[in-house]
């Protein structure tokens, strides 16, 4: 088996890349260890808590014990299915803030400023309800908004306004800062994953193929990537790449594959008996994520989704969705959102909210108190950094994942601010008809020490790992890829996924990951890039003196 370009990973960026390369006439072969995304658990938006907890669809990874979080091991869901994590995620669509990308460019990723990436976001989007002129209208990726029928969605936005914050009709448009509707990769009641948007249309072309196998390492001959060694059952074989190999295997599995291929920190590779091809200290380093807590309120009226949280209710929702593609099953239930700044002197938002009209955990366990609602809240730009390293030279062994969450003192200040600002929002008049009391942390948790104790015990990952093969200047010793996504020190090898983010973006990472696949495809094709935009994003004129 061989192709012009071999892509490892049918995830968010890999699917987008396959689509654009095949469209341009390149012979593409995609390697994916996972299988089909058929079935209601993936395709039904409201069932989102199921696939990320199913071994069939998830790699089943865990962090090492986190010292600052009471030595808890946190789950690290990564999609093992076509569409990758876009097939098991919460479907929330966030581009990130304009200044995220300007920071990328300033830190060595030339050509990745907001002006450079905005045209790629517009190319990939088919926005339903977004801000005209700022959003794409005919791309493969459908982005929609929920119906927001539950009054709690409006109470959340109104409470933000009453607390003095901005509102925004499109946080993916000119103005991210503020409270408003949330967007999702949902179309006609179905999860609109990268598999549905990109891979399935690409596979209809004769020059795009998909093969199921476990990628073990990149084959490198005389300093050039020439193929990928894969395993199917007990059998090993090499899939040849006539032109290039692209790793799009996630911010966890991409650095693992690089290291198994001899690209990474030399001393660490030597420990595992791996011959060093390119000594790159940055491989696996710079691991970042978003942590969040769920601030939960007990509801004084039975208007939350809890009334469906029983076998009969779930069956009704499932049946309506199966037969008509409509109803509560057609939404991820995250239909209102907010981005705010934690204090004066910060020029763009550093706190994100997902609002949910039910008190429930990601693993599907509902709050014992019954009717309730919650805000997922967390800081956007933690200074803590972790690493992905090898557990062994066995490609089937899970890597060692250490996030080092909350290891920077500023993280604690930022998280305390998140909790106190959220309590203030829930105390506004807009919520008066709906609030009974605070479930968690609980009204008695008020001091810094008490709040810190709650964070240690209850902070959860938002499942946004990135940064482990970061992009930078070719002479930067900690950069792994150059601004064209080429692995520094090896010919014919690129990385295109959230590994290459120099710094985590504001919000959920699916949108930025797809954008990376779109833009990396143009770099590989060697054709001209889309012309930069001169659009100017909104920044609060009072950011230096006011928090809101």
Q: Which residues are catalytic?
A: 464
SS3 string of 259-282?
Answer: HHCCEECHHHHHHCCCCCCEECCC
Nearest alpha carbon to residue 172 among 437, 349, 389, 427? 349
Please give the distance of CA 154 from its chain centroid, rounded to a whole number. 26
CB 359 within 8 A of CB 374: yes
3-state SS class at 404: coil
Q: CA 428 to CA 160: how far, in whole Å? A: 8
Q: CA 327 to CA 510: how far, in whole Å? A: 25
Nearest alpha carbon to residue 153 among 377, 353, 395, 385? 353
Angle (CA) 37 234 18, round 5°:
40
What DSSP line would sit under 13-37, residue for residue? HHHHHHHHHHHTT--EEEEESSB--
Strands, E assignment, 67-177: 75-76, 125-127, 141-145
Residue 503's Cβ-count burial label (10 Å; 0-12, 13-18, 19+) is middle
Q: CA 487 to CA 493: how far, in whole Å? A: 6
DSSP secondary-structure letter at 487?
B
Q: CA 100 to CA 102: how far, in whole Å? A: 6
Cβ contacts of 283 within 8 Å, gap of 6 or more:
255, 258, 259, 263, 264, 265, 468, 469, 480
Phi first, then psi: give them for residue 220, nearest 5 degrees: -120, 125
3-state SS class at 303: coil
Alpha-carbon dihedral angle through residues 164, 167, 173, 176, given to the nearest 10 degrees: 30
Burial 409-439 (b: 16+ CB within 10 A, else e): eebeebbbbbbebbbebbebebbeebbeebb
């Amino acid at each position: 088996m061989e192709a012009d370009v071999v892509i490892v990973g049918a995830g968010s960026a890999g699917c987008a890349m396959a689509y654009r390369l095949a469209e341009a006439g390149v012979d593409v072969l995609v390697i994916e260890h996972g299988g089909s995304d058929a079935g209601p658990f993936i395709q039904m938006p409201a069932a989102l808590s199921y696939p990320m907890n199913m071994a069939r669809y998830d790699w089943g990874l865990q962090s090492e014990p986190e010292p600052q979080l009471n030595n808890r091991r946190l789950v690290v869901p990564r999609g093992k299915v076509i569409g990758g994590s876009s097939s098991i995620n919460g479907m929330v669509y966030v581009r990130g803030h304009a200044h995220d990308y300007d920071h990328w460019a300033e830190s060595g990723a030339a050509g990745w400023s907001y002006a450079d990436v905005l045209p790629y976001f517009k190319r990939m989007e088919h926005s339903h309800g977004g801000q005209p002129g700022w959003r794409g209208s005919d791309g493969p990726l459908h982005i929609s908004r929920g119906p927001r029928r539950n009054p709690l969605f409006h109470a959340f936005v109104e409470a933000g306004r009453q607390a003095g914050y901005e509102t925004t009709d499109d946080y993916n448009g000119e103005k991210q800062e503020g409270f408003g509707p949330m967007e999702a990769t949902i179309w006609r009641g179905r999860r609109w994953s990268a598999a549905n948007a990109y891979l399935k249309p690409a596979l209809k072309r004769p020059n795009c193929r998909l093969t199921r196998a476990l990628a073990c390492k990149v084959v490198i001959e005389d300093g050039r990537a020439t193929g990928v060694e894969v395993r199917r059952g007990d059998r090993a074989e090499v899939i040849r790449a006539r032109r290039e190999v692209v790793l799009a295997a996630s911010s966890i599995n991409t650095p693992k594959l690089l290291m198994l291929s001899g690209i990474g920190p030399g001393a660490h590779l030597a420990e595992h008996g791996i011959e060093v091809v390119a000594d790159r200290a940055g491989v696996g380093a710079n691991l970042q994520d978003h942590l969040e807590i769920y601030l939960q309120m007990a509801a004084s009226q039975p208007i939350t989704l809890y009334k469906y949280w029983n076998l009969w209710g779930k069956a009704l929702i499932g049946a309506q969705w199966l037969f008509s593609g409509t109803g509560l099953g057609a939404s991820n239930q995250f239909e209102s959102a907010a981005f705010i700044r934690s204090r004066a002197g910060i020029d763009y938002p550093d706190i994100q909210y997902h609002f949910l009209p039910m008190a429930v955990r990601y693993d599907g366990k509902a709050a014992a108190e019954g009717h309730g609602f919650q805000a997922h809240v967390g800081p956007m730009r933690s200074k803590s950094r972790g690493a992905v390293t090898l557990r062994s030279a066995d490609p089937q062994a899970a890597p060692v994942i250490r996030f080092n969450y909350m290891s920077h003192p500023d993280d604690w200040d930022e998280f305390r601010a998140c909790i106190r600002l959220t309590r203030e929002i829930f105390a506004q008049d807009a919520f008066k008809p709906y609030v009974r009391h605070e479930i968690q942390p609980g009204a008695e948790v008020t001091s810094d020490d008490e709040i810190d104790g709650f964070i240690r015990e209850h902070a959860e990952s938002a499942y946004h790992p990135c940064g482990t093969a970061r992009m930078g200047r070719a002479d930067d010793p900690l950069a792994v890829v150059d601004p064209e996504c080429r692995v520094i020190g090896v010919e014919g090898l690129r990385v295109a996924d959230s590994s290459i983010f120099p710094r985590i973006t504001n919000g959920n990472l699916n949108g930025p990951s797809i954008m990376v696949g779109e833009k990396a495809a143009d770099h590989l094709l060697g054709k001209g890039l889309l012309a930069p935009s001169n659009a100017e994003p909104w920044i609060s004129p009072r950011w230096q003196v006011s928090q809101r």
